[in-house]
Structure 1
Amino acid sequence: MDKVNPYFLKNPSLISFSGGRTSGYMLYQILKAHNGKLPDDVFVVFANTGKEMPQTLDFVHDCSTYWDVPIIWVEWDNNSKNKIRIVDHNSASRKGEPYEQLIDSKKFLPNPVTRYCTSYLKIKPMRAYCMFHKGFEYWNSYVGLRYDEPHRVARLSNRNKKERWETEGPLHDAKVTVQHVYDFWKNNEFDLRLPNIGGKTPQGNCDLCFLKGANTIKNIMKSDPKLAEWWIKQETKHLGTGNDRAAYFRKDRPSYAKLLKNTQDQLELFEFDQATDTCFCHD
């Protein structure tokens, strides 16, 4: 097989599947490069935080079912051996349990400066799976970074210097853009059942992630106000020692309770944020 193909993997490998359209597209292309079956020492792993939308969990399950590829579901669990719990579509947390357990153990909320949620809920469970469940000492990790995301790809070289794995971005190497991803899912037999707005999925990853723009969060709240309850609960725990940064997800904008109140006072939708670097849980 042509090893110049960016989707032909080095072994052993972990395919980091976020549950979004881009990583789904990457998985499809990797499967295609391997004639529909992954090598024995290549594993697809999805790290569930408990705050993904139900449609995201269904999409992960659909990719596994339609393409006949095993996808390992992992969750951070402070009470389990090696801090990792293996789950599946049926047993996966859906009420933010792993995330809330992590917050309670840290006793302060994550924020844009200290994003420990990404490390503990995404990166560490995948690392634990490779090290303790598969016995890998070193491995390659493949993430869904496109050609039109050079700022994210640039971070990979820094991470590679200090981890047990080499991170690869095959979509970037193949010059794949958001338009390629959009065209693929438009013509596919199944899709992620969340709105695609300008090539982005505002409700992807954690539903109301603090890294999403304020208007994006308020629009999601307007469509499903109950999603705000979990985030408001965390901010009303008054964690820390009076430091605003410890008790709130962000100090540069209103609390989740105030954002929700704002959506209730304004009837129309808010203009979507134009920021190019929204929440992303692989870096």
Structure 2
Amino acid sequence: MGTKVVLMEPKPVRHVLSLSGGKDSTALAVYMRDKVPEMEYVFMDTGEELPETYEYLDKVEAYLGKPIIRLNPDRPFSHYLDIYRGVLPDPRTRWCTRMLKIKPFERYVGDDPVISYLAIRADELHRKGYISTKPNITPVYPFIEAGLTKSDIYRILEDSGLGLPDYYRWRSRSGCYFCFFQQRIEWVGLLENHPEYFEKAKQYERFDALTGQSFTWNARESLDDLQRPERIQQIKEQYLKRNQQQTVKLHGSLTELFADEDEEVQSCLVCHL
């Protein structure tokens, strides 16, 4: 008697779009809403985000008409900081992205075949980032395929009525309040808009008396040094001088205060799109 062969039905392909709370991923969610009705929207919530991010996500959720699934890490940032012996994440290690963003996303999709929608624009083909490399996850780039650039992203957000998150008044990126990719002027913005978060970020910095090594968010200076009034004034003057010709008015009243920098280009895609 022969062996009966049972054919397994292939798993259906899932469509997943990760939102960071930033302009590009939000514009992509708006752009794809009616194109892929079965889209799953997720947000990797580290628990260390700005309040403006959560407020913006609530607005986006209402616009999309379906829930944005919040994915949380299995342990908080402080737990992993202990594991890494107090060594803060930096552009080379990025352990925060790996443990707080990538792993929750990979746990969520499991082994299902997934199409992951990424909001890299047609005007940033050079951009590199840190995303999942699991073989069952296939990335696609709708903005690149459609030839959409930064001006299109602003138009999509304006036409949708969502506009930009409030933190864009003083910050150029989404992500954790202590993100090491922040420019100095953005740390000043954090200090002036959320002094309690600035103090929390400062408490993570430390000096090891045994080795003489400093663990700071910025490689060149501590937040304690950065918050001195004379240093704040210097940072503001340098920033205004550097961006004198690059200030662009948006939406009639909103001003984009931050020019793209190499830091933004190499930043973690899952955090900052």
TM-score, normalization by structure 1: 0.72
1:59 aligns with 2:73: no
2:209, 2:68 → 1: CA distance? 37
Q: Aligned residue for 1:71? A: 68
Letter in 1 for 2:113: Y
Match of 2:84 among 83, 106, 125: 106
Match of 1:255 among 222, 226, 238: 222
Q: Aligned residue for 1:125? A: 104
Q: Aligned residue for 2:204? A: 234
Letter in 2 for 1:11: V
2:188, 2:80 → 1: CA distance? 25
Unaligned 5+ residue runs, structure 2? 1-11, 244-257
Structure 1 pair 74/242, CA: closer, same or farther in 2 (3 Å)? farther
Q: Aligned residue for 1:266? A: 233
1:206 aligns with 2:176: yes
Q: Aligned residue for 2:47? A: 50
Letter in 2 for 1:169: Y
2:222, 2:185 → 1: CA distance? 13
- Matched length: 238
Greater RCO, CA 8 A, separation 6+: 2
Cα deviations across residues 225-267 of structure 1 (Å, max 9, x unaligned)?
332111111113x57973737x23343x101221122567528
Q: What CA RMSD, in Å, does the superposition of the two structures yield over aligned residues?
A: 3.0
Letter in 2 for 1:100: S
Check whether the contact 2:23–2:165 (CA below 8 A) recurs between aligned residues.
Answer: no
Letter in 1 for 2:155: D
TM-score, normalization by structure 2: 0.75
Check whether the contact 1:222–1:263 (CA below 8 A) recurs between aligned residues.
Answer: no
Could you list the structure 1 runs, at least 4 aligned residues long, displaced by more than 6 angstroms after superposition. Answer: none
Which one has the largest radius of gyration?
2
1:175, 1:240 → 2: CA distance? 53
1:147 aligns with 2:114: no
**1:45 shift after superposition:** 1.0
Structure 1 pair 122/263, CA: closer, same or farther in 2 (3 Å)? farther
Letter in 2 for 1:23: S
Q: Aligned residue for 1:166? A: 138
1:51, 1:175 → 2: CA distance? 34
Letter in 2 for 1:56: T
Check whether the contact 1:139–1:164 (CA below 8 A) recurs between aligned residues.
Answer: yes
